[in-house]
Structure 1
Amino acid sequence: MGIKYLSRRLVSLLIVIVLVLYSTGVVRLGVMDRLEAWSYDVRLLLTMPHNIDPRVVIVDIDEASLKQVGRWPWGRDKLAQLTESLFSHYHVAAVGYDLVFAEVDTSSGLATLTQLANSKFKNDAQFQQVLNHLRPSLDYDARFAQALTLAPAVLGYYFTPYPQQLGALPKPVLTAEQTARLQLPHAAGYGANLSQLQQSAVSAGYFNMTADFDGVTRQMDMLMRYQGAAYASLSLATLQAAMGTQLQLKSMREPPFNTQRLALAADDMLIPVNTSGAAFVPYRAYPGYTYLSAIDVMAGRAPVALLENAIVLVGTTAPGLLDLRVTPVVQNYPGVEIHANLISGILDGNLRYQPSYARALDMALLLLLGLGLTLILPKLTPLRGALLSVALAGSYVAVLAWAWQSNLVLNAAPVLVLIGVLMILNMAWGYFAESLAKRQITGLFGQYVPPELVDEMSHDPSKFNMRSESKDLSILFSDVRGFTTISEGLTPQQLSDLLNEFLGAMTAVIHQHQGTIDKYMGDCIMAFWGAPLDNSHHARDAVLAGLAMQAALVTLNQRFAEKNWPQLHVGVGVNTGQVSVGNMGSTFRMAYTVMGDVVNLASRLEGITKQYDVGMVVGENTVAALPEMVFVELDSVRVKGKLHPVKIYQPLGLRSDLAKPLLTLADGFASVLAAYRAQNWDAAQAELEAMIKQAQTLDSPTGLYDIYLQRISYFRTHPPAADWDGVWVFESK
């Protein structure tokens, strides 16, 4: 290994080692996980079927059905009617309910009539006779149970991670001994159906769905373990009921090496699963199935040809019933269609799976390509190095495509990222020198960050640049209230001196808390935390800086009083979230700054501090990042420029630093908000008046309480609408 390329090759080897460790699972890299998920989604979207599968039909409890029948849950008499129609009129092969029926249906009033028959009308023979005649028609659970016996019906239920035993479970599909070689997810409890209903149904299947790390549903657990035994998912149980099959474990061979793996088998249908019993969902383009409104099926208006001999899943797409999932296909995907996709995939035999040798293949390719490129690329010109890398990447993409068509899911990201990163590293190495970067770092960031941070950054300048990137940061805006009026009473020199002294004091506070000054806009200061130097506690530093600015202003105002300068009052807004940060502007002028909705909201929060007579307002994301601090929820507001309401908070400080009476006031205002949003004006006013008295004894400001008393007084004479959500709307910035 020539000394000329030593540094470059050492860096390349480090990249190879990191990716090998990632492929073995020793280290986790979030960006790699996201890239792998993206590559899987791309392959799926490019190859998924775009036709409707007539073998599976979804009976949809949709908005039209809810409008005609009534809000959910329906009486079991309506479900009995639906089930009888499916079996007796439409002659479907089987019905799977993506629903659970855990509670007794009392909507018919039978329980009340029975109570009267046993008490007030105990000796009334006519009442007893009429009730006995009506009892069968009023026992809705019995009617539904009777309908479930007409043909194969499968009920839904769910498992829980906490101990719970609600309803009756179906029989397990496999014993603990049969699934000993699978590491199935364990459940601690369940929520299942009434025993009466479960005994009438053929079986039941759980409808739990576990999303991947990014919230997207790509796989479904086909089996789950409870008390040793294994239970089937709704899709698997429904297919078994329709086909009349029994489940067992078999070995299957994986191309191209003929390695063996375990698979579930139902007659001649193989269901490849991973070691935890999960299978990839073979999505079709949405919608991939015929949707029939439940009300049309109940009324017999749906075409018989669409349902006859079909496997039917009963579920809902109504947004209010919250069975919508995020999938690679669409963001709001009906959960019931995920079960339908799995049934189709099993019938077609096209469930994809990751072969048992996938990890070993990744490691072999990473080591082979990584070592080879580490040795070869430094010796090639940038053009030849790029051509070689593109050729290797293209060859591997072809392998991925062949594997996908063979129902094999190979990892794409590790190998392609390795090739791409090594190519870019070797092409860019000659353009960046460490010594030049060290000299430039102060020029780049010296005007934005404190000197001590510049020193820290200069130790590894390659980590820092001004290119725009998306990062999680905390943004602070501060502004002097009534500054226009203040400036009118000062000479130009006095105004300049006052502003310089004020900005200097506030900047010192921000620098003490590791903040980056973005810009000064007259009397307004904009700062942020978390860039250019990463800061895992940026939200804490930003909030503490805002509180420290308020405290520093007290001392500053004392000095101003000695000079006969006006007193200043500052509003501070802080918000946290993903923003774009980097060098932005034009060829004439560039600035290292931040942009995005999070920044805009931080500015709005500063602007409404005066509306609540508080010195500082922070957003929800900031509060969520700081459990160690105490905040008072001020309101739920819709600021100008935002469609959705946001909750706003006033920070009080670290919980460990606050006196108990102040904590009591904070807790008390939470009760005020609850009463206020419930339109319980009397309770809210009584609590506010009590808090004002308590605040006065603590010499604590009461402006916020007075504002809410004024609102309550207004709402007493101008009541809000019945659907009022408690949100206060600001029309100005």
Structure 2
Amino acid sequence: MALRLVRRHAARVVLTLLPMVVAMLQAAGVWQLPVVERLDNFIYDVRLRAHMPGTPDSRIVIVDIDDASLQQFGQWPWSRDKLARLSTELLVRQQVAVLGFDILFPEPDESSGLSDLRRLAEGRLRAQPGFAAEVERLAPALDHDGVFARTLTGRPVVLGYYFNGTRNALANGRLPAPALLPDAFDGASPPAVVWNSFGGNIAPLVQAAPHGGFLNVLIGRNDDGVVRAVPLLARYEGAAAPAGYYASFALAVYQVASGGTYAVAPVFASHGVVGRAAPLTALQVGQGTTHRRVPVDGNASVLVPFRGPGGGEGGSFRYVTAAAILRGELAPGAMRGKIVLVGTTARGLQDLRATPVDSIFPGVEVHANVVSGLLDGRFASVPDYASGYDLVQMLFAGLLLAFGMSALPAFQAVLLGVGTAALLVVVNVLLYVRGGLVLPLSAVLLMTALAFVLNLSWGFFLETRARRGLARLFGSYVPPQLVDEMMKRPGRYSMRAESKELTVMFCDMRGFTSLSEQVTPTELQTLLNALFSRLTAIISRHRGTVDKYMGDCVMAFWGAPVDTPDHAALAVQAAFEMAAAVREFDESQRLAGRPRIDVGIGLNTGVMSVGDMGSAVRRSYTVVGDAVNLAARLEGLGSTYGVQIVASEATRHAAPGFAWHALDTVRVRGSARAVTICTPVGRIGEARWAAGLAQWDALLAACRAQRWSEAQDLLASLDTQQNVNKVLVALYRQRVASGGLHPPDPDGDCATRFDSK
């Protein structure tokens, strides 16, 4: 079946598969389309915002050097003795668990003037008695860096610094000790990001607070500048500090909060691509039963687990202004055991970031979210098999759409396309919500959309062409409503000949010869066209197919090209209405003084051949066969029996909803088989027909059995009924009289033979 489908829709299947091939090349890394990355970022951002906890983390407090603090205590940078006061309040009076500075201290603080005093003591005031000694006596208080360093010494403090990558390696300040040595990744793939320059803190502060972490957040290819990931480790290869892998600010804060043990170990995938080292998949932080396994990507980065919107109004973390701390407004121990991060939301200090949850987001809160994620072990991650998963879902969706949409009708194809996209999204979201897995989605959605558009466009093109073909083939024969129905499934219909059970009709005008002798050819044409228009409209309304017009005769059939189970009933109803239409037309002609016209209709139901038939010069969609010939012969019998409609017994059985008047058993020219004929008299349930029809059936049975005396009595009874068919009564009176003159013939079938057309 699949092979037949491919052969039948090969071009459409191939067209639908093209987007899959392109998408799989993208997933395999053969090329990278920027639009795919941008769309993946957008999907990730929407998914992240929809599933943030939205609850505050009371374990972390942000001390904010905001615009109000700067206005009250002076512009930045503040003197280090002021920062020492801030630190003393937090470390001693508030007893915080960890104090982290999202601030860089790259240069000495000379705001006290101590260096100027020392130059004076060694210069112009060298001879001044006691001056130099007084300067040195005051030096401990005037050395703001020393004051700040002494405040931090032996305390749970983490300082921040920055890495850079430059052509010429630069270094400013000092770095803390690396978290891992350079050979920590031997035999595996190290983080891809390498830095050779840094901006650190001055030596006294690094010596006083040896715990530190880098503050870098924007890594890798992130063209939109939005912070989504933060590296937990960075590789430094410059000459100004020991080479190795350094911890991020958030990781350093977490480690100090966990007891200060710098135990970080890389975890590699248990498998790898042949010929390549095993990739980094996680970092193990801590030792023994307290260790935590943090999923990371190949750059040792984590996706920031944002809790909610940023800032003091965001509600994720408690914000306290630095001014309030310096003024001592908080009760002693109000922050006992908290992790406190000192940062800034002041616009002039340029530490506001663009993030998926807010376009203006405090940089310090980015680190706070990472620390919160480390405390809870709450991180979404891009697994190392993400590319393989992407290839599998592309293969699944591509093949499903290629073969499914090629075989289905338009509406079902639309449902398949929409359903496939919805399934991909639902699975992706469930894996994110339940397993924290960030898996690619944009490429397969773009592939699905493109395959959907291409397939429907191709289908529309073929369908339009098929519709035009159907209109050309059947428009002249089939009613418009049937053509519309056929166009829903154009592939099912063709001119190819086939055998089917149909009902065929011949409708001939009686008296048109006399009429043609009294009117001009133009008038005759007008009259005939008007009458045929009425009759054709009736045929079309009852789902019939006009076969041809033959002089003053119309040929039509029911049941093809559109399958119509009740074709016989529709043909009978059409015959009733056509006879009524001719009577109305005859009335109008009689009033105009023209000869009367009547109609003879022959109906037969049976198996016949239907299709495109004819010669190389002229062809038409028509029916042929013995069943057709019989209908043509029956049409001419109406005048003999005094009826307008003559139908075969087969039509009577196929249209049981009508009451039938049995007429005779006949053998027509060209057929050796005797056929029972009848005429419809109305719908079942019209009681006025019941008694008379039963008597006629009894009469015909008596005649077939050659019981002429019984037939004579039945005729006498029928002759007294109103609306009796006088022609038929006279015919049977003559037949009964003739039969009574001869002895019964045991071999006779009593069928009336008609040797002429």
Tell me the TM-score normalised to structure 2 length: 0.55
Partner of 1:505: none
- Distance in 1 between residues matched to 2:71 and 2:191, nearest whole Å: 45
Partner of 2:436: 407
Question: Is the counterpart of residue 274 in structure 1 residue 289 in structure 2?
Answer: no
Q: 1:249 aligns with which of 261, 265, 268?
A: 265
Alignment of 1:13-162 (within 5 A): 13-162=17-166
Structure exhibiting the larger radius of gyration computed from Cα positions: 2
Q: Check 1:382–1:435 CA distance in 2 against 1; reply closer, same or farther (3 A cut).
A: closer
Question: Is the counterpart of residue 221 in structure 1 residue 231 in structure 2?
Answer: yes
Q: Check 1:209–1:434 CA distance in 2 against 1; reply closer, same or farther (3 A cut).
A: farther
- Distance in 2 between residues matched to 1:186 and 1:18, nearest whole Å: 32
Partner of 2:205: 197
Question: Is the counterpart of residue 418 in structure 1 residue 447 in structure 2?
Answer: yes
- On the 8 A contact 1:206/1:233 being kept in 2, the answer is yes
Q: Check 1:2–1:371 CA distance in 2 against 1; reply closer, same or farther (3 A cut).
A: closer
The one-letter code sitting in structure 2 at the alignment partner of 1:315 is G
* Residue 284 (structure 1) shift: 1.3
* Residue 226 (structure 1) shift: 0.7
What whole-Å deviation, never above 9, does each CA across 1:81-115 have from its counterpart, x for those lacking one? 11111101110011111111111111100011111
- Distance in 1 between residues matched to 2:304 and 2:331, nearest whole Å: 29
Q: 1:172 aligns with which of 171, 174, 178?
A: 178
- Distance in 2 between residues matched to 1:312 and 1:184, nearest whole Å: 31
Partner of 1:231: 246
Q: 1:265 aligns with which of 269, 274, 285?
A: 285
Q: 1:292 aligns with which of 313, 316, 320?
A: 320
* Residue 408 (structure 1) shift: 1.2
- On the 8 A contact 1:353/1:408 being kept in 2, the answer is yes
- Distance in 2 between residues matched to 1:4 and 1:303, nearest whole Å: 82
- Distance in 2 between residues matched to 1:374 and 1:425, nearest whole Å: 10
What whole-Å deviation, never above 9, does each CA across 1:242-278 have from its counterpart, x for those lacking one? 2123232254899xxxx99433322422211111111
* Residue 302 (structure 1) shift: 3.0
What whole-Å deviation, never above 9, does each CA across 1:427-465 have from its counterpart, x for those lacking one? 2334469999xxxxxxxxxxxxxxxxxxxxxxxxxxxxx
Alignment of 1:559-574 (within 5 A): none
- On the 8 A contact 1:152/1:202 being kept in 2, the answer is no
- On the 8 A contact 1:382/1:426 being kept in 2, the answer is no
- Distance in 2 between residues matched to 1:52 and 1:96, nearest whole Å: 19
- Distance in 2 between residues matched to 1:434 and 1:207, nearest whole Å: 61
Partner of 1:375: 403
**Counterpart of 2:246 in 1: which secondary structure?**
strand
What whole-Å deviation, never above 9, does each CA across 1:182-238 have from its counterpart, x for those lacking one? 324110111101111100003111101216222111111111101240001110111
Partner of 1:358: 386
Structure 1 unaligned runs (5+)? 437-733
- On the 8 A contact 2:404/2:416 being kept in 1, the answer is no
- Distance in 2 between residues matched to 1:252 and 1:269, nearest whole Å: 15
- Distance in 1 between residues matched to 2:98 and 2:370, nearest whole Å: 15
Query: Percent same amino acid at aligned positions?
Result: 38
- Distance in 2 between residues matched to 1:56 and 1:251, nearest whole Å: 28
- Distance in 1 between residues matched to 2:106 and 2:463, nearest whole Å: 67
What whole-Å deviation, never above 9, does each CA across 1:491-538 have from its counterpart, x for those lacking one? xxxxxxxxxxxxxxxxxxxxxxxxxxxxxxxxxxxxxxxxxxxxxxxx
- On the 8 A contact 2:280/2:296 being kept in 1, the answer is no
- On the 8 A contact 1:87/1:150 being kept in 2, the answer is no
* Residue 306 (structure 1) shift: 4.9
Q: Check 1:273–1:306 CA distance in 2 against 1; reply closer, same or farther (3 A cut).
A: farther
**Counterpart of 1:87 in 2: which secondary structure?**
helix
The one-letter code sitting in structure 2 at the alignment partner of 1:193 is N
Aligned residue pairs total 432
- Distance in 1 between residues matched to 2:43 and 2:61, nearest whole Å: 30
Tell me the TM-score normalised to structure 1 length: 0.56
**Counterpart of 2:130 in 1: which secondary structure?**
helix
Partner of 1:461: none
**Counterpart of 1:54 in 2: which secondary structure?**
coil
What whole-Å deviation, never above 9, does each CA across 1:622-646 have from its counterpart, x for those lacking one? xxxxxxxxxxxxxxxxxxxxxxxxx
- On the 8 A contact 1:174/1:229 being kept in 2, the answer is yes
- On the 8 A contact 1:179/1:230 being kept in 2, the answer is no
- On the 8 A contact 1:49/1:284 being kept in 2, the answer is yes
What whole-Å deviation, never above 9, does each CA across 1:679-723 have from its counterpart, x for those lacking one? xxxxxxxxxxxxxxxxxxxxxxxxxxxxxxxxxxxxxxxxxxxxx
Q: 1:340 aligns with which of 359, 365, 368?
A: 368
**Counterpart of 1:291 in 2: which secondary structure?**
strand
What whole-Å deviation, never above 9, does each CA across 1:652-674 have from its counterpart, x for those lacking one? xxxxxxxxxxxxxxxxxxxxxxx
Alignment of 1:684-703 (within 5 A): none
- Distance in 2 between residues matched to 1:33 and 1:65, nearest whole Å: 41
What whole-Å deviation, never above 9, does each CA across 1:386-434 have from its counterpart, x for those lacking one? 2222333333223222211211111121223322322232223344699
The one-letter code sitting in structure 2 at the alignment partner of 1:49 is P
